[in-house]
């Protein structure tokens, strides 16, 4: 599950670019919170469905705040191959290791800022926010365990505004 759009017309030929992460956002995100349960599936498989011995699947839960235009004014969207590595990223809130648990477990992660926010750019929808929940950290590469299950509840994005 993610915040953004999906281009089904290229999903088979360019799966990492079919997912377009983020939507314009006009507040400064400070914290990313919620509850989760996570059960990894029994056998991690590679892209071709071959089992990967002695590997346990892991989930991914994070939010990314980024500039949605480059210095030349061109639209920027994050994709599966750069959602955590683009130079346009301003801040990230990443849960990190998602421990397997069958009981609802709280998370509360601060956004770590790499640079200051331009308030005028923020007011003019010059930033976007992506939120990602994946039951397999490498699912975008078709690596993971069938049957991995990530459930999330009471997800909150806590923001502040400069007045």
Closest-CA residue to 99 (of 138, 53, 52, 59): 59
Chain segment 14-36, per-residue pLDDT in tens: 888 888 899 999 999 999 999 99
Tokens linked to 85: 């590595």
Total number of domains in the chain:
1
Q: What is the DSSP string of the chain?
A: -BSEEE-GGGTTT-HHHHEEE-EEE-SEEEEEEEEEEEE--S-EE-TTS-B-TT-----EEEEEEEESB-TTS-B--B-TTTTTT-TTEEEEEE--S---EEEEEEEEEEPEESS---HHHHHTT-EEEEEEEESSTTGGGT-EETT-EEEEEEEEEEEE---
> Which range marks the domain in which residue 84 is found?
4-160
pTM over 0.85: yes
Across residues 99-125, what is the average pLDDT?
Answer: 96
Residue 161 pLDDT more than 80?
no
CATH at residue 100: 2.60.120.890
Q: How confident is the model at residue 163 (pLDDT cuts 50, 70, 90)?
A: low
Chain segment 71-80, per-residue pLDDT in tens: 999 999 999 8
């Amino acid at each position: 599950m993610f915040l953004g759009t999906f281009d089904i017309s290229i999903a088979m030929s360019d799966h990492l670019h079919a997912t377009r992460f983020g939507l314009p956002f006009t507040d400064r995100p400070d914290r990313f919170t919620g509850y989760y349960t996570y059960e990894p599936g029994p056998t991690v498989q590679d892209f071709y469905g071959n089992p990967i011995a002695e590997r346990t699947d892991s989930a991914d839960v994070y939010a990314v705040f980024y500039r949605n235009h480059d210095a030349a004014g061109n639209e920027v969207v994050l994709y599966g191959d750069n959602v955590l590595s683009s130079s346009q990223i301003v801040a990230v809130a990443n849960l990190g290791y998602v421990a397997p648990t069958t009981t609802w477990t709280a998370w509360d992660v601060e956004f770590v800022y790499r640079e200051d926010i331009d308030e005028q750019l923020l007011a003019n929808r010059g930033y976007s926010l992506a939120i990602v929940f994946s039951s397999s950290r490498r699912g975008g590469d078709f690596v993971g365990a069938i049957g991995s299950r990530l459930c999330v509840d009471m997800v909150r994005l806590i923001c502040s505004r400069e007045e």
